[in-house]
Structures are given as structure tokens and as C-alpha cells.
Chain A
Amino acid sequence: MKNKQFDDFKDTVFALAKKNNVEVQISYSQNRNFQVRYQNGDMDQYTDAGKFRMNVLVLKDGKLGASYTETFDDPEKVFLDACENISIVDTEDVEYFYDGSGEYLKLEPYDGAFENLPVRDRIGYVETAHKEARKDERILMDMAVYGDEMNEQRIANTLGLDVSFVDGGGFMYAMAVAKDSSPRSGTEFTLGKRPEDIDGAYVGKKAREESIALIGSQSVKSGKYRIILRNDVFSDMLGMLVSMISAENAQKNLSPLKGKLGEQIGSNIFTVKDLPYHPMSISNAPFDTQGVPTCEKAIIEKGVFKTFLHNLKTAKKDGVKPTGNAAGNGIAPINLYVEPGNKSFEELLSALGDGILIIEVDGMHAGANPISGNFSLGAKGFKVENGKIVRGVEEITVSGNFLEMMKNIEEVGSDLRAFVGFGGCIVPSIIVSEIDIAGTV
């Protein structure tokens, strides 16, 4: 961290704040990232980079003005821009800063395990994945990506807050495409905290196996089906829940969970938590983007809706304590964690008996409406009969309502995996007892 330059910038802005009789908060973020992508065994993209940014918030009479910059030049201009922005803000909402007086969890910061890895080792992961993906002559093309990143965050304000944390890790992604009447793609994604968590061969093999297994995919008859949502798919769909549990959305009548605290909103085997730290996550944090301490809490416990997620403003409005979930201009969990059940993935397949295993949904950003909970998504997967995968399924859409779906969760698996999206997401696969699938007549 460029401590000296940041401190100078901060001191100048804090002095200006004092002179102008306003409060100010500066968030400093610095990240470094490395990424390499191979297509069909050739290097296609390679990025090794870093950047920093300072977000300046000025608070005056409960109103906020914001400005950011990527240069230490001219702190005064940045400060004045933020002040000017206050002049057009006319919401009746009152904003606050946090003074940093609370107890912060002592979390283990990222040890930079990937930082010291020689470049040839990082490229080695991708080459291994590529070789593994190609171990079947039906594979037409493949792609493999390796990346690692390190993110440092520091927040300081004129009320006395000054906190910092660093987290990071690595990831791998592979895609293999198998030849068929139309090409079949299989993918695999892994997140890791340490280099030994990343296994290039495994990622390549899983992508290959999935694409090969999809050869001969067909649609299915339209109707209602029992399904497994594989952990990666379930993680995607939980984006809808993240929007619904935001107190801000509830206060603005944009959440269907408004007024449902304490109610049974999901199946009684469904428990969702927000965790400040999980060993598999690469986005842990002892404080949120307002500097408020993060804490572990149940959001849904045995199907009962326990709490919305709050930032300082929404908490004040509802007369509750902030939950440490401010995320920029919005609200988000630190690590959304779905409590696992006892059944392995294979046991889930047996429990499904006859149904469809969904391995991909597309179009979450457009085909899912978190205000109503309705979704209709392109999907693919496998047909399961007597607990065994019998063939690939293509050209179907799954549709329903997320709130109904939470009630229809019949089994929760033990196969926890970590993903990134809106913060961290650590989830298992689930069985949903009934969902609409559109396919052939």
C-alpha cells in the first residue's frame, strides 16, 4: 500500500473538511491481479496488473456527495467535486458515518500465497488443464483460465474510523467443447485460498467429462419436474435472494420479502447465513464498505426469515443495529452460506430417482426478476432415471418463482463449493420438488 502518499492525500482532505465544517470519509482500495487464458493450448490472454482508487465521501447535514480519483494529484478538486454533488442531493434520507468504535473480528488476512508463485507455475496450471481436457478425441476445442488476485482495503473518516484488511486468492476455469450434431460445452470452476487448492488436471478433466456426457443431448417434454440444482447453478440463482434480503429494497417496496420477518418462507431444511469469514472464500472482511464490523448471522433459519441485511442508513430507518452489510451503493452479504445437509452429490442423485439435474442456467441478469421472484431461464443438464444419469438435456427453460422454489427444497446436499459474485457464496446442491420446464410438446 502506498501509505505515505495516501496519508498525505487523506491529511489534506481531512484538513479541508475541518475548514469547511463537514465530515469526510476516504476509502482506499488497491488490487493486484494476474490472469492467463489459453485457447486450444495457445496463450490467448495474459494480464499482470495493479491499480488503486480513492473514494471520497463528504457528509453535510445528513447528505452525502461522492467523488473518486485514481491519482494522488489535486485532492482539493476531489473534495470540492464531492461537496458540489451534495448540492443536488434532495432526498429526505439521512446518511451517517461510522466512528469505528465497535468490536472487529480478528480475521486471518490473506497471506499472499499466490503472489510468490513463479509465473511458469501459474501457466503450468493452465497447460495441465488443457492437456487433461484434450484426453478424448471428440473434444473440438478447449479453454482454460487461471487467475489470482489480492485486494487491500482501508477506510478512514473524520469521526475516527481507520480500518484496513487484505484478502485474495486464486481461481481456475476450464471449458471443453465436444463434437456432436451441435457442439456440447462442459465447464468447471475452482476457487482456492492457496496454490495447493487449485488442481489444473481436475478442472480440465471435469470440463471434458461434462462435455462428453452431453453428447446426444435432447430436449424433454414440457411439464413439471423434480430437479437437482447443482451447487454452481444454485449459487447463480441465489442472486435473487441477495436482492430480496436487502433492507433498502424492502424499504423501497422492491422486495417481496417485505413484512415477512419471522415467517416461514422456505422449506424447514433450508438455512442461509451470512459469514464474515469462511476458509474457502477469497472475499472475507472484518468490516463492510462503511467500516461497520461484520458479524455472523442467520438470514433464513430452518425456513424462517430472520433478518434483512442492513447498512447504517437502513438500520437507522428500521430502528435496528446495522448488520455490517454495506456494499458500495448497495447492500450485500459478505459470504452467503447455505448450511449443508448430509447427502453427497451421488446420494442426491439417488434421492432424486427420476428427474432432471440442472447444470447450467443462462440469462439470470435478464430472465430473473428479483422484485417479483419470477424467473424463466434457458437451461441444460442431464436426465436422471432411477438415480442414474441417462442422457444430456438441452434446449429447455426452467421457470417459476423463487419464493415458491424455497418452499419446495426437498433435500440439501453436503457438496459445498465456493463461488464469487455478490461477495462470496458457499453453497451445496439442492433438490427442488417441482418446477416448470418448457421443452418439446
Chain B
Amino acid sequence: MLDKFSKGVAERILGTVLKYGGDFAELFVEDRYSTNISLKNGKVETAQTGRMFGVGIRGFLGDKAIYAYTNDLSEENMLTVARRVGEALGEVKLGDLSLDLRKKELNNRHIIVFNPKDVQKETKVGYMKRAYEAARNYSPVIAQVVVNYWDYDQNVLIANTEGVYVTDERVRTRLMINAVAMKDGQMESGFYGPGAAMGPEFLERMDLEQAGVRAARIAVRMVDAQPAPAGRMTVVISNEFGGVIFHEAVGHALEASSVARGMSVFAGKLGQQVGAECVSAVDDATIPNAWGSANVDDEGTPTQRNLLIEKGVLKGYMIDKLGSRRMNMPPTGSGRRQDYTYAPTSRMSNTFILPGDYHPEEVIASVDYGLYAKTMGGGSVNPATGEFNFAVNEGYLIENGKVTRPVKGATLIGKGYEIVQKIEMVGNDVARGQGMCGSYSGSIPADVGEPTIKVREILVGGRNQ
């Protein structure tokens, strides 16, 4: 439905912004069709489809930015909105600019086999039920299993006064399995939520039974667990979703939105040793069909692989267009947003620590006493102070180099710039896991990742014995 936006309309909208103010204008059009299905205890409880359709209009004057969005798509209304953006910027810099937008053809890196719109809903429910059955049958203590399915087909058109006129299609599919185990009045839950920038073929190719078992296993192990010990200790964080620690503790503070105004502990530290020598990390939105990937970012800039830290030395930030103006550095294809109701800003895509030399068992064997965080939950961070916190959804004690008993309720807290210096060992088993990352420009799909790592000391919050 983006054909409603001919080059002519786009040119008139962008031109109107500049006529009333500013030195740069951008148009973002989004038409997204989503499906959400929820399966509780084996039965489909809710099924919803829906369409979002709207435009975001943004203008810059130097490093000042004004954003507006609307879904009244009459040309008259859009031109009024464009005029308001220009007027809010104030100073007219370019005035009547004659624009000649030329469409740029993208080389699509993310091949979609089935568009979710073309796949029967019964087929999608079939995938959900397989994961459900496997989780339900894993153990008699499993009391509840909820499986949610989500897919969308997002078509965007991005045009700006630098001549960008580009369209991109982002298809994503995700399964979210939540299992609850109940025993002696105790309830604990386990979660697994694999996703990809693919159509439903992602689930066709996946071991759905294994996925169900994975969520159930966490719940079952944790319902028998003792409260985690509290205090400072060595922590081994397992690969894949364990990378959420780097995402929160370091990643957010490397986003231009924090760095440009000096609001980050990593501002002004390019080229400096900020972490242990065994730590290298990247943000890479070019990985084919990865959950956080795209051909272009939400500002129309082609995505790229960004080296963030190399052998502990800070090498780069994640920079959007506005951040680029403020930092006087080129954008890195990192401008992202939840949807047209958010102005884009610098965000992560697929962010992970690169593999090291150790076998994961060697990492565990090196610890006399500590916590093994096998499955991490979500976390959050204050980029200005670096203070972070995470929940450990599946934890075990490590005693004399061996994983011994399960422990529950552990939280890891600390400061990002300290943790990255305290990483002592990096495994060779790098893997990525999927999450939704929430920040200034909304909630977006993002991969986190790492190999198994050992952190010398983190404060673990648990119950005092």
C-alpha cells in the first residue's frame, strides 16, 4: 500500500518542511500487518491480526530535531503536519529546495520463503501445539504452559532531503513459550522465545519439541531450587541469551543517544582500554535473517557490522543521523524505532561478544565457588551511571569446579564499565538469543549473544540464609 506515496507526494512533504524551517527533512512511511495468537493450556484463546499504517515526519536544524507522526494520510493533513515541523524548527535555511528523489534498489540479504500473510493460521497453531505438548509432557510438575506466536510483515518507505528514497520489507516470526512448574505450593516459571527475520519457515525448520522442553526444563529445575546465595562472587554466564549482560551493561552506553551529549560513561573514550583484553564485541545488523537484522536502518542508511570493542579497546559507537551531527562522526546504520509513532534513535541490532579460546567446561572448572547463570532473564541499565541489573532465570552453584545444585531468585547488579573489566575468561561457544529491547525509540527486536564467560566478581542478590 506504499504506492500511495509517489515520489511527488514525498517531495512535496519534504519540501514543505524545509520551506518553513530546518536544513534536513525525512519521511518514514510504515504499513505493517501483524498476527498474534495465544495458546493457553493447549487451546487457542486469542487470535488477532491488524494493520498499522502511518507516517513520521522529521526535520533537523543543526542538531535540533522535531518529530511528528500522523495516520490521517490525506495529503492536505500531511502537508499541514510537515509545515508544523518546519515552523517548530524555526529558522529557514534552504527554503524552496527542488528535490529529485531517485529510488535506490537494495540488495536483499534476508530471503523470506513464506510471507506470513500467505501461511494458514491453522499451520501456525500447529507449530504452537507441538511446542506446547512437549513442554506439558516434560514433567508431571508442569502446571501451565502458555505459547504465544507473533509474526509481522513491515513495509517501510524512507525518503529524505539528501536524496534517499528507499523501501524495505521486514518479516519477523517469533514463538514465546512460558512454562510454569508447581510443587509443594511453590511456583516457578521458565521461558524460551526464539525468533528470526524469517517467515513461518523459521518454525518449520526448528525443533519445536526441543524448544518446549527448554522452557519446561527451567521451570522444573527451579521449582526444586534453593534460594540463591547473596553477596559478591565469581559468576559464569552461559552463552546465547547470557549476552544480555553485554547488551545492558555496555551496549546501551555505546549508543549515540547517550554518548553524543556526554551522558555515557564511555563518552570520549574511543581508543582507550575500557575492558579486559579477552573482550571483543560487535553489533551486526547484516547477519542474514537474524532477529535484529535489516537491509537499511529506519533512517534509510544501509546497515553494517560495527566493531565496538576489540581486545578491550573501545573502537566504535552505534550512531544514528542525529547522533552523527552531534558527534561529527558518520552514521553506522543504527537508527531504529519501534514503529512510526517513535522518532528513530541509535539502537543495537544483533550485539554479541566474539568467541575466545576456552571450552565452556574449562571455564566452569576454573571456579572454586560461584554462580553459574545458565539462563538469564531480562535486565535494565542507567546509561548515565552504568548501573545495571539482571535476573537469573536458571542458576546453579559452582563448587570446586563443578556445577552442583540449582538456585533460584538470583539477581546480578553492578556497573557496566566495571564488569567489562572483570571478565576473565571467554569461551569458544558463541551463540545468540532473541529479545525485545526497550529504550527511547520504543521496543525493537534485538539479538544478544556471547560465548560462556567468567566474571571475577559480581554482586549477587538473593535471600540471606
Contacts and interface: CB of A to CB of B under 8 A. Distances in A.
Nearest to A93: B45
Interface string B45-65: 111111111100000000111
Given A367-B377, A376-B391, A65 B47 contact: yes
B204 to A, nearest CB: 18
A82 B122 CA distance: 15
B464 A46 contact: no
Interface in B228-285: 228, 230-232, 261-263, 265
A253 B40 CA distance: 12
Interface in A129-170: 140-141, 143
B461 interface: yes
Given A365-B380, A395-B414, A88 B409 contact: no
Nearest to A397: B461
Contacts of A78: 51
Interface stretch (B182-190, B195-203, B304-312, B362-370): B182-190
Given A47-B343, A252-B144, A366-B391, A438 B461 contact: yes
Contact of B50 (A69, A184, A372, A374): A69
Contact of B411 (A67, A140, A363): A363
Please indicate which of the listed interface residues B37, B180, B413 has the most CB atoms of chain A within 10 Å of its own CB.
Answer: B413
B445 interface: no
Given A90-B44, A397-B411, A253 B182 contact: yes
A296 interface: no
B121 interface: yes
Given A40-B261, A49-B341, A365-B380, A438 B464 contact: yes
Contact of A363 (B85, B341, B380): B380
B99 interface: no
B380 A70 contact: no
A69 B73 CA distance: 13
B43 A91 contact: yes
Interface in A80-98: 81-82, 84-93
A88 B123 CA distance: 10
Interface stretch (A175-183, A191-199, A276-284, A350-358): A175-183
B68 to A, nearest CB: 5
A93 B71 CA distance: 35
Nearest to B50: A68
A121 to B, nearest CB: 14
Interface in B362-391: 377-380, 382, 384-391
Given A367-B389, A438-B460, A46 B67 contact: yes
A51 B231 contact: no
A185 B382 contact: yes
Q: Which of A67, A69, A71, A223 has the most CB of B within 10 A?
A: A71
A424 B321 CA distance: 36
B440 interface: yes
Contacts of B462: 376, 397, 399, 438
Contact of A376 (B41, B51, B232, B409): B409
Interface string A42-58: 11111111111001000
Interface in B404-441: 408-411, 413-415, 440
A227 to B, nearest CB: 14
A119 interface: yes
Given A253-B143, A362-B380, A369 B389 contact: no
Given A88-B125, A377-B411, A399-B409, A67 B385 contact: no
A47 B67 contact: yes
B388 to A, nearest CB: 8
Contacts of A371: 180, 187-189
Interface residues of A, number: 80
Contact of B48 (A47, A68, A70, A369): A68
Contacts of B122: 88
B231 A438 contact: yes
A141 B263 contact: yes
Interface in B132-151: 143-144
Interface residues of B, number: 78
A439 B409 CA distance: 16
A44 B262 CA distance: 13
B65 A45 contact: yes
A51 B69 contact: yes
Nearest to B122: A88
B459 interface: yes
B327 interface: no
Contacts of B341: 49, 51
A44 B64 CA distance: 7
Given A46-B66, A367-B411, A399-B409, A91 B390 contact: no
Contacts of A366: 377-380, 389-391
B385 A441 contact: no
A254 interface: yes
Contacts of A99: none
Contacts of B411: 363, 367, 376-378, 397, 399
A112 interface: no
Contacts of B63: 42
21 contacts: A49-B67, A51-B341, A70-B52, A71-B71, A81-B49, A84-B49, A88-B122, A91-B40, A91-B43, A183-B265, A254-B187, A366-B389, A369-B189, A371-B180, A380-B387, A395-B413, A396-B461, A399-B461, A438-B459, A439-B459, A441-B232
Interface of A: 2, 39-40, 42-52, 55, 64-71, 78, 81-82, 84-93, 119, 140-141, 143, 175, 177, 182-185, 219, 222-224, 252-254, 256, 329, 362-363, 365-367, 369, 371-372, 374, 376-378, 380, 394-400, 436, 438-441
Interface of B: 37-38, 40-41, 43-54, 63-73, 84-85, 88, 121-122, 125, 143-144, 180, 182, 186-189, 228, 230-232, 261-263, 265, 341, 343, 377-380, 382, 384-391, 408-411, 413-415, 440, 459-464
Given A47-B68, A89-B45, A376-B409, 14 more contacts: A42-B261, A66-B48, A88-B125, A89-B44, A140-B262, A141-B263, A365-B378, A366-B380, A367-B390, A372-B187, A397-B462, A436-B463, A439-B459, A441-B231
User: Considering the complex of A and B, which 6 residue pairs feature the smallest CB-CB distances, nearest first?
Assistant: A397-B461, A378-B389, A438-B230, A68-B50, A366-B378, A366-B391
